[in-house]
Amino acid sequence: MTVRVRFAPSPTGYLHIGGARTAMYNQLFAKAMGGKYILRIEDTDTERSERKYEESQIEDLKWLGITHDEGPDVGGEYGPYRQSERLHIYKTWAEKLIDKGHAYHCFCSEEELTAKKELAEKEKRAPHYDGKCRNLTVEEVTSKLASGEEAVVRFHAQRKAYVFNDYVRGRVVFPEGMVGDFVIMRANGIPVYNYAVVVDDASMKITHVIRAEEHLPNTLRQLMLYEAFSETPPEFAHVSLLIGEDRQKLSKRHGATSVTLYKEMNYLPNALLNYLCLLGWSHPNELDVFNPLELGTLFNLDRFTKAAAIYDVKKLDFINGQHIKALPIETILTEVEKTIPSTHQFHKMDHEWKIACVTIFKDQINFFQDFASHLDVLFTTEVSTSADYLEAKSWETTPKIREYLEGEINIAIVAGKKFVTVEDYNIWSEHVKGELKIKGKQLFMGMRSVLTHQAHGPELKFIIPLTPIEILEKRIHL
Ligand code: GLU
């Protein structure tokens, strides 16, 4: 059996991060099993569906690196891949159901149905369709249709329990009588969601349906339809809900929910995928940072977690930082350069200096655009007003360090140096320790306060050799 899976978004908005997660799981599973991953556009909600959303969703999926084997833009043997182009298929399949006695034309008006529903609710009965049109004769139906009466197609639901095994939720039982006869085709020829999904999944030979937990209740109607078509249902995996920290369903209230926004905020696609992958699934080697697209056969359907996954932007940001760190240094440089203001001195420095600078600060950023703020420690002549700095400045040892370093910096300037070296810095600190007999906190914070005008910051031996000598000179005289 060739595994065939699908992602079936409705083009009614931008790609949601939950949708991206579903698409990724499907693609990873297809890859792991040597199968095919299909993109199907579920655009039967004609009022809300728009082509621009389909296009932007496909673009965002591509940005993430999720590419489909079959779909509306690339074709395939089982097309068309847009539901709006499959109306003839839904009609033919509905006729099959009618012929087999599993569905029938229903001529009841909306008003009649609403009145019956209200009555049922009042009498505390399940508001199921009462079956009025179920037993119309072929002649009655033909003559009503011929006289132009509008009809929906309604499915004749069996009164029995339905059971299936879900990869995530285990054994799921739908007790008898949960649904009555339901509509599968509207009078205007547009199929109802549960019906279209079954026709599509069956005719596209889908073997596994991996989708969000909110679709679990739909599985009942879908199982009924598979049975009526004498088709084997696919295997199901209903992946856990995404929720905010307040345990409510993830929505715009919790922050950005569309992939487009993450792209604009400069997240790395692999980092976003990595984070989404961990929301409801765990790596077999317990890894937190990895590229999902390289999981290969490590991805399987047995490692999903049932519990709802809490969306935590801080963790996502951390993972983004981890992915930045792992990039080649030249790539990080190219990316951070784009985010540093064009007038910044950084751009005037030579390549070697820039690489050294990126090497030091790359571990401290979660985003490329965070980089510029770390450069202050190399270029600013501002003086900290923090209590720790003022304390370090007030020690009686600190002016001695300042006096010594002033002499050293002047020697370096006279020698024509643009920067001091790590060796110079080591000699300075040895001198302060050995000759001036200043040790511990007084040594390290004292040197830092004199050389940077700050009380805390990255290791001096890394930043002092990158600080232009004229900046060190200015600081020492302030
Ligand atoms: N079109 C549905 C949605 O956007 C997906 C249906 C399914 O995966 O079965 O939620």
Q: Render pLDDT for 163-220 as a digit per residue (tens, 0 to 9).
A: 999 999 999 999 999 999 999 999 999 999 999 999 999 999 999 999 999 999 999 9
Q: What is the mean pLDDT of residues 40-67?
A: 96
CB of residue 221 inside a 6 A radius of ligand 1: no
Considering only CA atoms, give the Rg of the chain.
Answer: 33
- List Cβ neighbours of 440 (8 Å cut-off, separation of 6 or more): none
Angle at 55 between CA 64 and CA 24, to 5 degrees: 30
Residue 469's pLDDT band (cuts 50, 70, 90): very high
Whole-number Å distance, alpha carbon 260 to ligand 1 midpoint, is 20
CB of residue 9 inside a 6 A radius of ligand 1: yes
Q: What is the mean pLDDT of residues 421-447?
A: 96
- Out of 197, 242, 258, give the residue to mutate to test ligand 1, the one with the largest number of ligand atoms within 8 Å of its CB: 197
Torsional sign, CA 327, 331, 332, 338: negative
User: What pLDDT shows up at residue 71?
Assistant: 98
Whole-number Å distance, alpha carbon 340 to ligand 1 midpoint, is 42
Residue 252's pLDDT band (cuts 50, 70, 90): confident
CB of residue 292 inside a 6 A radius of ligand 1: no
Question: Which amino acid residue places its CA nearest to atom 6 of ligand 1?
Answer: 8
Two tokens at 298? 């490590």
Statement: residue 478 has pLDDT above 80: no
CB of residue 197 inside a 6 A radius of ligand 1: yes
Q: Is the pTM of this model over 0.85?
A: yes
Statement: residue 464 has pLDDT above 90: yes
Enumerate domains of the chain plus CATH numbers: 252-325 (1.10.1160.10), 329-476 (no CATH)
Average pLDDT of the chain is 96
* Cβ-based neighbour number of residue 296 at 10 Å: 9
User: What pLDDT shows up at residue 24?
Assistant: 98
Statement: residue 248 has pLDDT above 80: yes
Whole-number Å distance, alpha carbon 268 to ligand 1 midpoint, is 26
CB of residue 213 inside a 6 A radius of ligand 1: no
User: What pLDDT shows up at residue 251?
Assistant: 83
Task: Please name the amino acid found at residue 460.
Answer: L
Beta pairing, strands 4-7 & 36-39: parallel
If DSSP states are collapsed to H, E and C, what string results for the chain?
CCCEEEECCCCCCCCEHHHHHHHHHHHHHHHHHCCEEEECECCCCCCCCCHHHHHHHHHHHHHHCCCCCEECCCECCCCCCEHHHCHHHHHHHHHHHHHCCCEEEECCCHHHHHHHHHHHHHCCCCCCCCCCCCCCCHHHHHHHHHCCCCCEEEECCCCCCEEEEECCCEEEEECCCCCCCEEEECCCCCECHHHHHHHHHHHCCCCEEEEEHHHCCHHHHHHHHHHHCCCCCCEEEEECCEECCCCCECCHHHCCCEHHHHHHCCCCHHHHHHHHHHCCECCCCCCCCCCHHHCHHHCCHHHECCCCEECCHHHHHHHHHHHHHCCCHHHHHHHHHHHCCCCCHHHHCCHHHHHHHHHHHHHHCCCHHHHHHHCHHHHCCCCCCCHHHHHHHHCCCHHHHHHHHHHHHHHHHHCCCCCCCHHHHHHHHHHHHHCCCCCHHHHHHHHHHHHHCCCCCCCHHHHHHHCCHHHHHHHHHC
Residue 430's pLDDT band (cuts 50, 70, 90): very high
Pick the atom of ligand 1 nearest to 214's CA.
Answer: 10
Contact criterion met (CB below 8 Å) for 9 and 58: no
CB of residue 211 inside a 6 A radius of ligand 1: yes
User: What pLDDT shows up at residue 477?
Assistant: 87
Contact criterion met (CB below 8 Å) for 256 and 323: no
Cα–Cα dist 180/174, whole Å: 13
**How does pLDDT run across 317-355, given as a tens digit for each residue?**
999 999 999 999 999 999 999 999 999 999 999 999 999
User: What pLDDT shows up at residue 256?
Assistant: 85
Cα–Cα dist 123/176, whole Å: 20
Question: Which amino acid residue places its CA nearest to atom 7 of ligand 1?
Answer: 8
Whole-number Å distance, alpha carbon 82 to ligand 1 midpoint, is 13
Q: What is the mean pLDDT of residues 17-36?
A: 98
Whole-number Å distance, alpha carbon 9 to ligand 1 midpoint, is 6
**Residue 298, burial from CB neighbour count under 10 angstroms (0-12, 13-18, 19+):** middle
Residue 252 catalytic? yes
Q: What is the mean pLDDT of residues 430-443?
A: 96
User: What pLDDT shows up at residue 328?
Assistant: 98
CB of residue 60 inside a 6 A radius of ligand 1: no
Contact criterion met (CB below 8 Å) for 42 and 196: yes
Cα–Cα dist 263/208, whole Å: 30
Among 37-41, 221-225, 377-381, where is mean pLDDT lowest?
Answer: 377-381
Residue 255's pLDDT band (cuts 50, 70, 90): confident
User: What pLDDT shows up at residue 253?
Assistant: 82
Whole-number Å distance, alpha carbon 163 to ligand 1 midpoint, is 21
Task: Please name the amino acid found at residue 452.
Answer: T
Whole-number Å distance, alpha carbon 250 to ligand 1 midpoint, is 17
pLDDT-above-90 percentage for the chain:
96
Under the phi-then-psi rule, with left for phi > 0, alpha for psi from -120 to 50, and beta for the rest, what region is 101?
Answer: left
CB of residue 44 inside a 6 A radius of ligand 1: no
User: What pLDDT shows up at residue 245?
Assistant: 87
Two tokens at 26? 């499907």
Statement: residue 59 has pLDDT above 80: yes
Pick the atom of ligand 1 nearest to 201's CA.
Answer: 9
The partner residues of 171 in beta bridges, in order of sequence, read 165
**How does pLDDT run across 62-77, given as a tens digit for each residue?**
999 999 999 999 999 9
Contact criterion met (CB below 8 Å) for 15 and 61: yes
CB of residue 8 inside a 6 A radius of ligand 1: yes
CB of residue 234 inside a 6 A radius of ligand 1: no
- List Cβ neighbours of 206 (8 Å cut-off, separation of 6 or more): 4, 5, 6, 38, 200, 234
User: What pLDDT shows up at residue 254?
Assistant: 82
- Out of 215, 218, 222, give the residue to mutate to test ligand 1, the one with the largest number of ligand atoms within 8 Å of its CB: 215
Task: Please name the amino acid found at residue 313.
Answer: V
CB of residue 15 inside a 6 A radius of ligand 1: no
Candidate list 52, 122, 252, 314, residue with the active-site label? 252
User: What pLDDT shows up at residue 32?
Assistant: 98
- Out of 40, 198, 206, 211, give the residue to mutate to test ligand 1, the one with the largest number of ligand atoms within 8 Å of its CB: 211
Could you identify the residue written with the tokens 């940072």? 289
Whole-number Å distance, alpha carbon 33 to ligand 1 midpoint, is 22
